[in-house]
Structure 1
Amino acid sequence: MRISITDYAVGAALAGDLANTSPTVETTAGEALPTPEALTRFLAGHGLRLDALAGRAPTADDVREVQLLRREARGVVETETEEQAVAGAAVLAGRAGLSPVLDRDPGGRWQWYVPTAPGASPAEELAAIIGIGLLGAVRTLGHGRFRACAAPGCRGVFVDTSRGGRRIYCMPDLCGNRLNVANHRARSRLGGAAR
């Protein structure tokens, strides 16, 4: 697998999304990656085709390794300083990442890529993608974009790679909507009581 250094947003988003599959984030939903089939859906949802899974489906061992990786990814996103984030991301990137290479993209332009080691496990390939994405996010956007979700009761984390940098929810469609609905209901109750 070749990981683009310049497309850091993929790995940065993957870090938060993977961390947020934990049952400690969505306590009512439970474990979001309980089976190999769930892992397959998660990877497909992110457009990832791992070399480690070429010609085979994930196993229960692959799922356990990815579940352990999500703790590490969360830990890097939750770091207090840029230095801690860089150190943690570098460890993840080194799991399967080899020396960067300069190669042509499909359009013929030269691009930096990090190939992954032959024989790397799915978790090791994901660690490299996440690590490189987080390193790119620190360099390009700064550590201030590593955030916890602002929704009350949510324990989700994310890296805000949006242009404006104003994102506050780990899952805007879910957490943001919940808060908007709760606020609307509260306003409606107040409005009804005032009449």
Structure 2
Amino acid sequence: MDIPIDDYVAGAAVATDLVTTSPTVRESTGEALPTPEALAAFLAAHDLRPAAALPPTSENVFQVQLLRREVRGIMETETADQAVAGGRVLLRRAGLAPVLRRAAEGKWQWHVPTAPGASLADELAAFISLGLLGVVRTLGHERFRACAAPGCRGVFADTSRAGRRRYCMPELCGNRLNVAKHRARRQAGSVIA
């Protein structure tokens, strides 16, 4: 895998989405990466193509589930120094020295290649680490947050321009909260009438 350094947002999005696949976050639906097919769909949804280009195996699923715990740990660190230290550990799993390459449009771009023969989880770790390190460098450690939805145990990296994201999965957690507020307003209105 060849990871562009300047696109930390993609790595941070994968980190957030990986953490939200956990049964810790998805208590009602359970594990979102239970099979090699689910892992393949996750990678495809993020347009990630590991260097080996082989279909994921059960061992890959297990290793990515372990990686998910490490990523969550980095997002829950108390300080930027702790987050950076965790990001470095992930990057060292497969990341090699940065290289400068000319992109298709002729512009020079920094990339971090991954080690030949690196496992799928190690390549994913390197990709995610660059995203998380980019968040700390560009936006600050305070952009790692816990989900604001009551009862949700999700965490996320807020890469939004305004920095006002509140939910790990806005389409699920945010919508669930909005529906609950709407029902409460309707119920309060019918009690008064």
TM-score, normalising length from structure 1?
A: 0.97
The count of aligned residue pairs is 193
Output the amino acid matched with 2:115.
Answer: A
Report the counterpart of residue 43 of structure 2 in structure 1: 43
Report the counterpart of residue 182 of structure 1 in structure 2: 180
Report the counterpart of residue 137 of structure 1 in structure 2: 135
Tell me how far 1:19 sits from its aligned partner.
1.1
Report the counterpart of residue 110 of structure 1 in structure 2: 108
Tell me how far 1:24 sits from its aligned partner.
1.0
Distance in structure 1 (CA, Å) of the matches to 2:51 and 2:95: 13
Asked whether 1:31 is paired with 2:31, we answer: yes
Aligned-pair identity (%): 68
Distance in structure 2 (CA, Å) of the matches to 1:120 and 1:160: 29
TM-score, normalising length from structure 2?
A: 0.98
**Structure 2 unmatched ranges of 5 or more:** none
Report the counterpart of residue 19 of structure 2 in structure 1: 19
**Structure 1 unmatched ranges of 5 or more:** none
Tell me how far 1:108 sits from its aligned partner.
1.1
Structure 1 stretches of 4+ moved >4 Å: none
Distance in structure 2 (CA, Å) of the matches to 1:192 and 1:150: 28
Aligned residues: CA RMSD: 0.7
Report the counterpart of residue 3 of structure 2 in structure 1: 3
Distance in structure 2 (CA, Å) of the matches to 1:80 and 1:16: 17
Residue 155 of structure 2, aligned match among 151, 154, 157: 157
Output the amino acid matched with 2:51.
Answer: D
